[in-house]
Amino acid sequence: MKLVLASQSPRRRELLSVIQKDFTVQASCAEENIPDGLTACEAVMYLAKIKAEQVAEQIARQDDLQVVIGADTVVVLDGEIMGKPKDHDDCVRMITALSGREHEVYTGVAIVANGKTESFYEKTTVRFLQLTLEEINWYASLSEPYDKAGAYGIQGYGSLLIEGICGDYFNVMGLPVAALNRRLKKYM
């Protein structure tokens, strides 16, 4: 069976290579609109599912059996999903809101194999340090936060903002490696 990652994320590629070295990448072009009324965990599983199923449909005509993995990550503060910052001011607003507080990071994963989809999610709680305005502006001046949910990357300079986590570190990066590895064993 061939493994296909339905994501352009370099972080997800790096993390999946811990589980399996031999896989291909095919980005999904599915519309990422979250239907009203979904909780954060439902939303990430929904988005992961539509990404994985869209790529699985694209490659269905190939002869080899494929296992397609889709994933989506969101940051949630006070029950609200924080997306990627639109600009510098939005980044400052997000980091300020996270400063000195705990929030949750949810990653949904969908595995499509043999015409069936299995979805799951992982949750990690992250606590930010109490940040000064100078620290917030410094981080917002970097390029790092602008392609990340919640406006920070835990694997880079964003690690300097973090007091601690409870849960899977790799989940915050965008792929819960241990949970995915256990589920993939039945397909490989």
**Residues labelled as active-site residues:** 72
Identify the residue whose tokens are 């705990």.
102
Buried b vs exposed e over 37-73: b needs ≥16 C-beta within 10 Å? Answer: eeebbbbbbbbbbbbbbbbbeebeeeeeebbbbbbbb
Beta-sheet strands, E only, within the chain: 2-5, 24-25, 66-77, 80-82, 102-113, 116-128, 162-166
Work out the number of other CB atoms within 10 angstroms of the CB of residue 111: 24
The pairing of strands 66-77 and 24-25 is unpaired
